[in-house]
A and B are shown apart, each in its own frame.
Chain A
């Protein structure tokens, strides 16, 4: 797949994800689910949209200047960041289960399992972004 096709696929994916987010927010508002959760979802979708717009603009600019969307170095960074994020998030998962056990032992109300799952996914994504940014600045070891 060439750079332009990859860019179009990326834009398509961004649009689908954001549209899914908007549909979810509208559906929760219509269903009368608690307002706080709808506001949190809206904030997440808006921040995702802002990051996506910035990324798409940068990619478009790079493509116009004749640079590819990615190359062997950016692929190496992505692979290493994914691998490290997976292992670091496993420790996070152990930590989370420890916290949940503590809360249960002390009979403090804990979050539902689905929300723990969402926290885990958000943490994994954040760890990936942080490791990616670090490797992008410091370089990947050969």
Chain B
């Protein structure tokens, strides 16, 4: 899984800490999601997409194995 979170964060000038605070999770959670090491729940994915004014399918790109 790839994500465009880092790219969109940069667009809105948000750090990982800012994004984590806005959606009420720990900073490491954002770090792990960005690195593809944690697949968030649908609700968390939706919350991230909302803050980054995007949609879940734009943010998360699932690739075939």
Contact = CB atoms under 8 A, between A and B. Distances in A.
A65 B26 CA distance: 10
A72 B25 contact: yes
Interface string A71-113: 1111010000000000000000000000000000000000000
A139 interface: yes
A142 interface: yes
A72 B44 contact: yes
A139 B28 CA distance: 10
Contact of A68 (B17, B24, B37): B24
Interface in A26-56: none
A70 interface: yes
A71 B38 contact: no
Interface string A123-142: 00000000000001011101
A71 B41 CA distance: 11
Interface of A: 62, 65-68, 70-74, 76, 136, 138-140, 142
B14 to A, nearest CB: 14
Contacts of B17: 65
A138 B37 contact: yes
A142 B32 CA distance: 12
Nearest to A138: B37
A73 B28 contact: yes
A68 to B, nearest CB: 6
A71 B28 CA distance: 10
Interface string B12-30: 0000010011001111110
5 contacts: A66-B21, A73-B25, A74-B26, A74-B29, A76-B38
Nearest to A77: B38
Contacts of B51: none
Nearest to A3: B24
